[in-house]
């Protein structure tokens, strides 16, 4: 059975590099960070699989392919401030801490936020912090952001997300209306949020971002 270090190398070579992820910062961070430290002990054997890993009833760790391609799509710069929405146990926050000036990981689940705070202290390089609050509100106290990254599929975005982006800021997320989702690259310019479809991706829906059902009499 391969060691976890070997499994991490195989993950990067087979799931990241082969999917046109060329940003050396993403490759380096995913090669170095022990992904198994960001999942429950019972799911440790799945750490480097090519599937999303459940972290709680409503939260999960994105599969390596989707995560790395979204991270590259976001075009995170060294001076950027990033809002990492639904950060779970903090893996995405730790990766972005390698790339950006500052990362705010947002989580509303108490247990996950506590775990993410621990991993941010250990792997955040002094540039990451975890805040707790409703996901759909974003985190206006630290706005504006250069990048908003959403860890999961959405069907709709609240206006608050657009409002919290700096002019020229980017938002990346997987939008879904059925079983297959589309990764979108969104840019905030002139008070509007433009969308561009980048690639197909299938990840679980974040319930807070589902369409609201109309009341029927």
- The pTM for the full model equals 0.95
Q: How far is CA 152 from its chain centroid?
A: 7
Q: What is the pLDDT along the chain (217 residues), one digit of tens a residue?
A: 468 999 999 999 999 999 999 999 999 999 999 999 999 999 999 999 999 999 999 999 999 999 999 999 999 999 999 999 999 999 999 999 999 999 999 999 999 999 999 999 999 999 999 999 999 999 999 999 999 999 999 999 999 999 999 999 999 999 998 778 999 999 999 999 999 999 999 999 999 999 876 444 4
Q: What is the pLDDT of residue 1?
A: 45
Q: Give me the CATH topology for the region 50-209.
A: Rossmann fold (3.40.50)
List, in sequence order, every residue forming a beta bridge with 199; answer none if it has no partner.
183
Tell me which residue of 94, 46, 77 sits closest to 145, measured CA to CA.
77
Domain segments of the chain: what residues?
Answer: 50-209
Dmax (CA) for the chain in angstroms is 58
């Amino acid at each position: 059975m391969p060691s976890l270090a070997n499994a991490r190398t195989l993950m990067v070579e087979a799931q990241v590099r082969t999917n046109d992820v060329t940003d050396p910062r993403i490759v380096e961070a995913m090669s170095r960070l022990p992904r198994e430290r960001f999942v429950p002990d019972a799911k440790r054997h799945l750490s480097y699989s090519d599937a999303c890993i459940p972290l709680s009833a409503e939260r999960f760790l994105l599969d390596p392919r989707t995560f790395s391609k979204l991270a590259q799509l976001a075009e995170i710069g060294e001076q950027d401030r990033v809002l990492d929405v639904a950060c779970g146990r903090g893996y995405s926050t730790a990766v972005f801490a390698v790339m950006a000036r500052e990362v705010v990981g947002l989580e509303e689940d108490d247990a996950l936020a506590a775990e993410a705070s621990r991993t941010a202290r250990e792997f955040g390089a002094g540039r990451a912090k975890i805040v707790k609050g409703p996901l759909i509100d974003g985190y206006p106290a630290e706005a504006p952001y250069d990048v908003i990254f959403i860890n999961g599929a959405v069907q709709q975005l609240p206006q608050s997300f657009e409002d919290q982006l700096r002019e020229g800021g980017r938002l990346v997320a997987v939008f879904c209306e059925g079983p297959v989702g589309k990764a979108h690259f969104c840019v905030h310019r002139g008070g509007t949020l433009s969308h561009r479809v980048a690639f197909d991706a299938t990840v679980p829906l974040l319930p807070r971002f589902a369409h609201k059902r109309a009341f029927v009499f």
